[in-house]
Structure 1
Amino acid sequence: MHFSFLDPLNITFNQRPEFYLQMTKSVASLGVAVNLFGLYIILYKSPTHFKTYKWHLANHQIWSLLLDLFAGLMITPVFFFPMPVGYPTGLLSHALPPEILMLIATSLLFLTLSSIFHLLFYRWQMVVPQGHPMKFSRTFKGFFLIGVYAFFLVPHLVLFPQTIQNQTEAKAALIEHYPIYESVVNISAILVFYLPTNPLFYTYMLVCGVMCTTFIIVVTAFLFHTAAILRRKDKYANFKTQLAHRKYIMILSTQMSIPMIALLEPGALLGLIMVFRIWNVQELAHLAFFTFASHGLVGTVTMLILNEHFKAYLAKRFCNARDPDEPQPISLNAISKDVENNGQERPSLASLRARAAGGNHFAVSGGSPTIRVLEFDAPGGGGGNGGGEVMPGMSNRLRTG
């Protein structure tokens, strides 16, 4: 296609947009710190029923952290669209060849997408009931997830290095077809990713489009099937459980859609700029990459806000709020009064201690009894992963008394 909005002869490139570079590096630095904090919360502050889920969540958090680190700090590229021409300015821009840096960053992108798919697949399997034809064995799930990572990574590793070969010839052809690039083609570490005479990059873009489209379709199917399963359970559930199901679907959709949009929307925008050869959009391209480089920060903050247990920990740690899962002390007089109102004999402290040891409703801590919490399976909790784990993000405790 040779469609363009403006005459390229009247366009000039900003070879070092300082505001964009400083903002990207600042947000990426903040994102790395927040990602590390989120990883700490996942590994050390997750509730006991997250014993399996936290490792799947940590896997995604690690890839997201590495992507933010490399894209925003180690590479920090400057682009000159509509031809995908650019060069790195980050911390590793003089330590490694630009081809290696771009290969690492794009590989981390596909690994992060794979981890999002992995995470949603696990949560979908938690909800699928036993005996359902879509309830897979542990072995099948392991091989399936290996296949998912290979599906995203192998085509990229095969095709991408071929698109940046023969850089000397590519630069000469670029200046011949578009003399406007003469001012930037001699920048140290400049990379030319494709030219109209090189169809291999079109092939690479097509393959990436197929992979991303497949990703969106399957992830959407997981979400809809999860909602359908919970709606069927709602027929036999009380109103409180129905509200919990709806909240779970809302949280799951939000947690999955925000990182997906932050990763895929900028890529789709840059793809349109390249295909239609839209000139004078350097600032728009940098804004798209800024959004892309901040996905880990946005995703981690979303996770901490939407997950009940993580949010309760943050409120307790930074706002001195009371943990909703922490047993609340009550006085013996309150227990005695309640028992007397029911026409029963007042229990002794020794009997309360004995009942606590036997696993009854009251547990005694120190010299006074406290309300004991009872475990129950939240929706999907008994689904076979981790043995009785409940759906992540939802409380699995019910207070008595």
Structure 2
Amino acid sequence: MNTSCSTVFTYWDSWQFQATFSHLLILITLPINLFGGYCIIKKTPRNRKSARWYLLHLHAWTIISDVLIGGLVCPYMFFPVLVGISVGVFSWISVPVWIQVFCAQVGLGGLATAIVMLFENRHNTLVRGRFKIEAEWIRYTFYAINGIYALLFLLPVYFQIPDPEWAKPILLKVVCELSGFFSIFRNPFQILPCPHPSYFQNNVFVFSMEISAVTGTAGIFLLFFLAEVFILCIHSSYFLLSLKTHMSPATQKLQIKFFVDMIFQVSIPVAVIVLPMTYCFYSIVWQYYNQMLNNIAIICISLHGMGSTITLIWLNPSYRQFTISVITCFRYDPSFRRSSVMTVSPATITQQHSKKI
């Protein structure tokens, strides 16, 4: 460790802050996410039944990824290097760190696959013609390819995990040299940051020395899934807005609303993940080190599930009305209000008419 470092670290930079906050957050968000799953199962309207299980599948992976990142694994990362400590439940029961990293990858990969499956289901429902996947075995093969890719896209990295005892000093030296080079474009008088003392603990895990290879592989994986979702959305939108659609005007209107709601339901929570991951990418590329921002970025990623559930409930009137009923201890019943208006109004009109006579 460089003894000339003068960086002062606070509680917000420590792994204790991230672990405590993440675990408390899971205790709050998990019941909310489970409530969202109940809404999907029990309160999905009849005109959306065909997509119910795909919505539930996506929601399940949302919960799994949140629990893994925020509770079971809870990685304390030292970006811009791929070095970290597991401070979650798995570390309490001595699960090997590489298995924990793989579990976190599976959670995020399963989430990406579930999003593609949801949009493929809408595409299969809306589209007619040669570009529709008619055969069920082809659809299942398509799902399997996406799932296997999400499961194995980082597999070569796991065979090259270095020994942290010699890798940590080397990575620290490389980071310092690169930071000095990039500081020419920012501030030539900037003092190089020092890693948090936790960096030198014995339980630190070095995922890879080839940072650019890992980020490049992850970038290709992300672009692959984004391209699939984009193509499915564009083609589905073309058929939804086509004048020669096979649907009636009323059905078309309902399908357009459902499709737009689904896009918002996916895009808003995904933004919760993309924004902190953008910071992580910036940190790696420009060799910027700020441990507090690293902690906040990981915590924000674990907020994805709550953002997904809130968006899901807000965009679906049946879920929203049921949620309001639960919050008000079932004193709010929109169906009762509508029926009351329909039964009281004629009587009121009749009574007023008799008074005039």
Normalising by structure 2, we get a TM-score of 0.77
Contact map agreement 1:304 1:311 (CA 8 A) in 2: yes
CA distance in 1, matches of 2:248, 2:57: 35
Superposed CA offset, 1:23-73 (max 9, x none): 322222222111111122222333445544222222112211111112111
- For 1:184, what is the secondary structure of its paired residue? helix
Candidates 171, 185, 206, aligned match of 1:192 = 206
The residue type paired with residue 314 of structure 2 is I
* Structure-2 change in CA distance of 1:160 and 1:321 (3 Å): farther
Q: Which amino acid counterpart does residue 70 of structure 2 have in structure 1?
A: G
Match of 2:101 in 1: 102
Matches of 1:177 and 1:17 in 2, distance apart?
Answer: 24
Greater relative contact order structure (CA < 8 Å, 6+ sep)? 2
Q: CA contact under 8 A between 1:114 and 1:149: conserved in structure 2?
A: yes
What secondary structure is seen at the aligned counterpart in 2 of 1:283?
Answer: helix
- Is 2:314 the counterpart of 1:297? no
Q: Is the 8 Å Cα contact of residues 110 and 153 (structure 1) preserved in structure 2?
A: yes
Give SS of 1:93's match. Answer: helix
Answer yes or no: is 1:168 the counterpart of 2:179.
no
Secondary structure of 1:86's partner?
Answer: strand
Equivalent residue number for residue 221 of structure 2: 211
Q: How does 1:231-250 map to 2 (within 5 A)?
A: 231-233=241-243, 244=254, 246-250=256-260
**Equivalent position of 1:74 in the other structure:** 72
C-alpha separation in 1, matches of 2:293 and 2:196: 22
Is it true that 1:120 corresponds to 2:129 in the alignment?
no
1:322 corresponds in structure 2 to 333
Mapping for residues 27-42 of structure 1, pairs under 5 Å? 27-42=25-40
Aligned residues: 323
Residue 272 in structure 1 maps to residue 282 in structure 2? yes
Equivalent-residue separation in structure 2 for 1:178 and 1:288 (angstroms): 20
Distance 1:325 1:226 in 2: 37
Partner SS for 2:40: helix
1:313 matched to 2:322: yes
Residue of structure 2 equivalent to 1:139: 137
> Aligned pair in 2 of structure 1 residues 145, 178: CA closer, same or farther (>3 Å)?
closer
Structure 2 CA distance for aligned equivalents of residues 162 and 271 of structure 1 = 23
Give the gaps of 5 or more residues in structure 1: 1-7, 335-401
Displacement of 1:235? 8.3
Instruction: Give yes or no for contact 1:98–1:189 (8 Å, CA) kept in 2.
Output: no
Determine what percentage of the aligned residue pairs are the same residue: 20
Q: Is the 8 A contact 1:97 1:189 kept in 2?
A: no
Q: In structure 1, which of residues 258, 265, 276 is the aligned counterpart of residue 268 of structure 2?
A: 258
Look up the equivalent residue of 1:309 and give its one-letter code.
Answer: S
1:237–1:13 distance in 2 versus 1, CA, 3 Å: same
Structure 1 residue 127: Cα displacement? 1.6
User: Which SS does the other structure have where 2:90 is aligned?
Assistant: coil
The 1-side partners of 2:72 and 2:246 are apart by 53
**Equivalent in the alignment of 1:59:** 57
**What amino acid sits opposite 2:92 in the alignment?**
H
Matched-pair contact (CA < 8 Å) for 2:9–2:196 = no
2:153 is paired with a residue whose SS is: helix
Q: Which amino acid aligns with 2:66?
A: D
CA apart distance, 1:178: 6.0
**Partners in 1 of 2:49 and 2:262 — Cα distance?**
19
Q: 1:241 to 1:45 in 2, by over 3 A?
A: closer
Q: How far apart, CA to CA, are the structure 2 residues paired with 1:142 and 1:247?
A: 27
3-state SS in 1 of match to 2:307 = helix
Q: Distance in 2 between matches of 1:327 and 1:92?
A: 51
Residues 327 and 277 (structure 1), Cα distance of their counterparts in 2 relative to 1, 3 Å cut: same
Deviates more, 1:56-65 or 1:132-141: 132-141
